[in-house]
Chain A
């Protein structure tokens, strides 16, 4: 059985229909990329899985249990962790407080030192408030907040958005290292090349529908398809 199984979910924003019968599955130790243009439904998918949005229909199973429509905190306690878009660092809390906050309900949280080893930059800034960090540092903190909970699966929502290329390279390195250590990851990213470089498998969404599932090289080969669904062509 897959670690995560999403079966024909339909999600709405108010009355706006955002996801249409989206199904996908993620195996343990796998890195899966969700691709698509703005508004294709990628973030909506992650948010629905995390319980931030409730699907109107469909089933979600995580680690063998039905989790659709549970509140986010219960899903988080079962070992699923979202790193949300725009990072959502608590700006008034220090770096260390942000990390401690994340460990509070984790079953076997990392010791803080382990997080600082992974992100030495955060160790230097641990007394700084979240809002004083640069975008790259905030993203490191957001990822650190997820890792310290030692979750069964991490959902990364646009982790490279708005960051300088050099920092993106660093973060790709972190993601790769984490994945090689066996962490299961679902990544949503506009930066298609970066996401495909990390992923074992990928899905492409368009207007709330899954239009592709397969290996990255299979997607890369079909350049027409890529441009139609990810690039600037109608």
Chain B
């Protein structure tokens, strides 16, 4: 057994998992609060990466690129919620899926038309180059930083959800929208904020992941599918479900690669099938919902 390979893959799984957690978290919170599953979420992730790329090309500052990616998606999220999603709250889930799926096509194709289909690169920031000696492993600095960034983001998200007025309203709204409304709170405005924040999480994930992957118009597709798997494994609408599900998914992909690289993606879906058979509502899901 090659220990350093194992360690490296464990860390790769963690980085991949962390990013999936971020994307799936936005998806699952939007679904929990609004009851809408956003099939354009992968496209949002991609747009975030491109926004970061544009900002970087203009300013050569990675920090500004990250801010631009997140801010752009906050804006996109708000515009899309007001312009499209809110008309769908009362329509069947199938229609919501179709509309957001179509929206995803439009975004991907708009980006393709603008930037072309060739891959773009967002370089690793100067403070992220090289590798770090962890004692048992040399590991790329930037990936370790990504882990840190995601961890901090999740803590912030946790604090927003569990320690602020907004979080209080969101958590209450996930359970009982009508009662929150009866207590004098404008739930529609909260929806807008939640959709904006969920989209922002996707955009943010898109930028910080951009130096690790190549930036192409279709980059969101696989991430969307994988975050669906995360949600199915973790259970929809659950903070802890998205967190644990994401990490499990990342590790399955990377650890399988040690044994049999050809199967690494396939194993993820096999794991999903097993969860479906043994615990259809997901690890942290509540039975009866959907």
Assess whether A22 is interfacial by the CB under 8 Å rule. no
Q: Say yes or no: A93 contacts B172, CB within 8 Å.
A: yes
A77 to B165, CA, bound (A): 17
B274 close to A (CB within 8 Å): no
Q: Which residues of the other chain, A, contact B172 by a CB distance below 8 angstroms?
A: 90, 93, 97, 101
- Expressed in whole angstroms, the minimum distance between the Cβ of B82 and any Cβ of chain A is 17
Question: Is A105's beta carbon under 8 Å from chain B?
Answer: yes
The interface-forming segment of A9-17, A35-43, A68-76, A196-204 is A68-76
With a cutoff of 8 Å between Cβ atoms, the chain A residues found around residue B182 in the complex are 50, 52, 72-73, 76, 81-82, 84
B279, CB-defined interface residue at 8 Å: no
Contact in complex: B186, A73 (CB < 8 Å)? yes
- Report which residue of B165, B178, B180, B182 has the largest number of chain A beta carbons within 10 angstroms of its beta carbon: B182
* B95 interface contact, C-beta 8 A: no
B181 near A71: Cβ-Cβ < 8 Å: yes
Q: Roughly how many angstroms separate A9 CA and B113 CA in the complex, as a whole number?
A: 56
Given contacts A97-B168, A101-B172, A104-B169, contact A73 B187 (CB under 8 A): yes
Does B1 belong to the interface (CB within 8 Å)? no
Choice from A77, A84, A97, A100 contacting B179 with Cβ under 8 Å? A84
Q: Are A90 and B179 in contact (CB under 8 A)?
A: yes
Pairwise interchain contact A101-B180, C-beta atoms closer than 8 A: yes
B145 at the interface (CB under 8 A from A): no
Interface flag for B184 (CB, 8 Å): yes
Cβ-based interface call for A145 (8 A): yes
Quick check: B179 and A88 within 8 Å, CB to CB?
A: yes
A73 in contact with B185 (CB, 8 Å): yes
A82 to B187, CA, bound (A): 17
Q: Which B152-200 residues sit within 8 Å CB-CB of chain A?
A: 165, 168-169, 171-172, 174-176, 178-187
Residue pair A106, B171 in contact (C-beta under 8 Å)? no
Asked if A101 and B181 make an inter-chain contact with CB atoms under 8 angstroms apart, the answer reads no
B184 touches A76 (CB 8 A): yes
A90-B172, A91-B175, A92-B175 known; A145 vs B181 contact (CB < 8 Å) = no
Interface residues on chain A, size class: 20 to 34
Interface string of B79-105 (1 = CB under 8 A from A): 000000000000000000000000000
| Contact flag A88-B176 (CB < 8 Å), given A97-B168, A101-B169, A104-B169 | yes
A102 within 8 A of B: yes
Distance of A52 Cα from B2 Cα, bound (Å): 64
- The B100-157 residues at the A interface (CB cut-off 8 A) are none
Contact across chains for A100 and B184 when beta carbons are under 8 A apart: no
Contact B184–A93 (Cβ < 8 Å): no
CB distance from B172 to the nearest CB of A (A): 5
User: A105–B216 Cα gap in the complex (Å)?
Assistant: 45
Closest chain-A Cβ to B164's Cβ sits at a distance in Å of: 11
Give chain B nearest CB distance to A80 CB in angstroms: 10
Name the contact of A101 in the complex, choosing from B168, B174, B178 (C-beta under 8 A). B168
Check B178 against A52 for contact (C-beta < 8 Å): yes
Contact status B184-A90, CB under 8 Å = no
Considering the complex, give the chain B residue whose CB is closest to the CB of A100.
B168
Whether A106 pairs with B181 at a CB distance below 8 angstroms is no
A143 to B182, CA, bound (A): 13
Q: Which residues of B contact A73 (CB under 8 A)?
A: 181-187
A229 on interface, CB distance cutoff 8 Å: no
* Interface presence of A149 (CB below 8 A): yes
Taking the closest CB of chain B, its distance from the CB of A121, in whole angstroms, is 21
Q: CB-CB contacts of A118-133 with B at 8 A, as 1s and 0s?
A: 0000000000000000
User: Please, how many angstroms separate the alpha-carbon atoms of A105 and B169 in the complex?
Assistant: 11
19 contacts between A and B (CB under 8 A): A52-B178, A72-B178, A72-B181, A73-B181, A73-B183, A73-B185, A76-B181, A76-B182, A81-B182, A92-B171, A92-B174, A92-B175, A93-B168, A101-B185, A102-B184, A104-B165, A104-B185, A105-B183, A145-B183
